[in-house]
């Protein structure tokens, strides 16, 4: 039986990591307590796809800040490589990387399920979204050959925050083909509530099990 890398699951506590970053030593998620965060891994420094991703994340840095969400990059490159690469991006692309970049080791990468033997020895492109209670709320994995869509990462953080406060969001939120940016109301759990649901003037319904309300 093959050994596959372990990984945290949705709803799990984010694993405790003591790491070295381009901004100094850091404890994750301890140093992020009370904040949303996005930890994303990249296969290697000084590679074209990863460089485009770092620029794209940095260009959305203010959007993440407005969401109260911290960005942290990570790969198994050594810290001096991270520092030199960040400097190269500033000097050659005129983009200052403001978020820390973690110098991970194989043990950390395995703990987060970022080493996939079938894809080589570098970390895959993983995205972990954590909430202010340090719970894992969303996980995405991309292969090395496909760069990520950072607008989707921003959308996912927004959607998680909205869903926590107001209810579930539809596909493609906030531009869903059926209900646009409206919020889906949880289906009734008993016949009485189901019968009353269609009479609720504050809702719009396709049927008693599919009702939606305005985004606040």
Sketch the domain layout of the chain as residue ranges: 17-150, 167-216
List the one residue out of 109, 113, 140 whose CA is nearest residue 4. Answer: 113
- The per-residue pLDDT for 121 is 58
**90 in Cβ contact with 42 (< 8 Å):** no
- Predicted pLDDT at 1: 36
- Token couple for 163: 């869903």
Predicted local confidence at residue 119, as pLDDT: 60
What is the reported pLDDT for 114?
72
Q: What is the pLDDT of residue 92?
A: 98
Residue found by looking up tokens 């895959």 in the block: 124
Q: How far is CA 117 from CA 46, 48, 102, 122, in A?
A: 22, 22, 21, 9
For β-strands 69-75 and 101-103, DSSP reports them as: parallel
Kindly report the pTM of this predicted structure.
0.90
Q: Which CATH topology does 167-216 take?
A: Antioxidant, Horf6; Chain A, domain 2 (3.30.1020)
Q: Which residues of the chain have pLDDT under 70?
A: 1-6, 115-123
Identify the pLDDT of residue 8: 86
Architecture, CATH, for domain 17-150:
3-Layer(aba) Sandwich (3.40)
**Catalytic residues, which ones?**
50
């Amino acid at each position: 039986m093959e050994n596959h890398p372990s990984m945290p699951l949705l709803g799990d506590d984010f694993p405790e990591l003591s790491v070295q970053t381009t901004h100094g030593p850091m404890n994750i998620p301890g140093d992020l307590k009370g904040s949303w965060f996005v930890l994303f891994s990249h296969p290697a420094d000084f590679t074209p796809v990863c460089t485009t991703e770092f620029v794209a994340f940095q260009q959305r840095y203010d959007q993440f800040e407005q969401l109260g969400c911290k960005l942290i990059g990570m790969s198994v490159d050594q810290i001096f490589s991270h520092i030199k690469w960040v400097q190269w991006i500033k000097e050659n692309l005129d983009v200052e990387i403001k978020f820390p970049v973690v110098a991970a080791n194989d043990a950390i990468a395995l703990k987060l399920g970022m080493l996939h033997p079938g894809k080589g020895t570098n970390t895959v492109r993983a995205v972990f979204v954590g909430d202010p209670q340090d719970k894992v709320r969303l996980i995405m994995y991309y292969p090395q050959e496909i760069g990520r869509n950072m607008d989707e990462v921003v959308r996912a953080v927004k959607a998680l925050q909205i869903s926590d406060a107001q209810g579930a969001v539809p596909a493609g939120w906030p531009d869903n083909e059926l209900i646009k940016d409206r919020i889906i109301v949880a289906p009734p759990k008993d016949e009485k509530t189901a019968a009353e649901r269609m009479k609720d003037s504050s809702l719009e319904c396709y049927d008693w099990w599919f009702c939606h309300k305005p985004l606040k």
